[in-house]
Amino acid sequence: MTTVPRNRWTFEDGRVDLRRDTPPPRPLEVAARPAPLTADLTRSALVVVDMQNDFCTPGGWLDGIGVDVSPLAQAVTALQQLVPAARAAGMPVVWVNWGNRLDRANLPPGVAHVYDPQGLGVGIGSEMPNGSRVLTRDSWGAALVDGLVREPGDIDVDKYRMSGFWDTPLESILRNLRVDTLFLAGVNSDQCVYATLIDAACIGYDVVLVDGASATTSPAFCHDATLYNTRQCFGFSVESADLVSALAKETR
């Protein structure tokens, strides 16, 4: 699938036409909580956060500092079904991943501290035993985890905070895609996924957290609290398998 610009003027016979070519609504009905949803496929996008080696893969940064990354495998498995289903149904797929500058020139000290609280030199930009730089653009650690594949037409956004919106072009991209509804997935559900979801909700997007395709290395109650707060304060949650089934019914 190739992403077609949705927010463009046309020029014909010497005249500029400011009207956008607005595709007709395509209802997507899906079981969700706290209530079933009908979304518009033409105004929706799948935003996948931080499915990167440094978080998800043995030998990556989290694993190297002693974090059990095995709970994240379920998100990889679910996304192997969800991402192709979204593409087939014509829903844009946006990969939002840490991709820091090598010189860390735009990285605030508070963010750097969170990833290396003891100042041991094991945080963002640090060199791993395999030579990779932690969460640094073009490094192995920042690359998409094995089992998930970017395809032509997918959109990549590098981020430098927990949220995918700060200091990135994500909002401009979503605006030009002409979307209103974001289905959010990835890791960690209670950290970067949730921060991105909150910012999206606060600037006016409809937000749906995809359970199963989101996971965390935090205690289980953190994921449960994220689901609760999403439904209570910001939007909705949907099971990944239910979303895949709904998308399959709408495949072009």
Q: Locate tokens 């998308």: which residue?
A: 247
Give the strand pairing for 206-215 and 236-239. parallel
- How many other CB atoms sit within 10 Å of the CB of residue 41? 21
Tell me how far apart the alpha carbons of residues 65 and 62 are, in angstroms, rounded to a whole number: 5
Q: In what helix (H) or strand (E) does residue 105 lie, and over which residues does it extend?
A: none
The catalytic position among 63, 158, 159, 199 is 159
The catalytic position among 158, 192, 199, 206 is 192
State the Cα torsion 160-181-147-152 to the nearest 10°.
-90
The catalytic position among 50, 158, 199, 206 is 50
Closest to 185 in 3D by CA, of 212, 166, 164, 154 = 212
Let me know if 159 is a catalytic residue. Answer: yes
Let me know if 50 is a catalytic residue. Answer: yes
SS3 label, residue 166: coil
Tell me how far apart the alpha carbons of residues 230 and 53 are, in angstroms, rounded to a whole number: 27
Tell me how far apart the alpha carbons of residues 191 and 189 are, in angstroms, rounded to a whole number: 6
Chain-centroid distance of CA 16 in Å reads 35
Catalytic residue IDs: 50, 159, 192
